[in-house]
Amino acid sequence: MPTIKIESEKCKGCSLCIDVCPYELIRQERTINHQGYQYVVLADPEEQCTGCTLCALMCPDICIEVFK
């Protein structure tokens, strides 16, 4: 199943990835990481991720790896 891995410690919570995911599979956590940002996580219980890489393309901090 295609999926993504988000390095939460690198994430700055800019949410640019959230907006581009066609299935709205990324959401922001309430908790903060060591940098002090509300990082994002993949929420994909139904395994909808297609590995399209759109989220990774947008991420300025290169926190997202995509597997297919």
24 φψ region: left (φ > 0), alpha (ψ -120 to 50), beta (else)? left
Q: Which residues bind other proteins (CB under 8 A)?
A: 1-4, 9-10, 12-16, 19-20, 35, 37, 51, 53-54, 56-62, 64-68
Tell me which of other proteins, ligand SF4, none is bound by residue 50, counting a contact when its beta carbon lies within the kind-specific cut-off of 5 to 8 angstroms.
Answer: ligand SF4
- For other proteins, give the closer residue by CB, 26 or 37: 37
Q: Does the protein bind ligand SF4 through residue 12 (CB under 6 A)?
A: yes
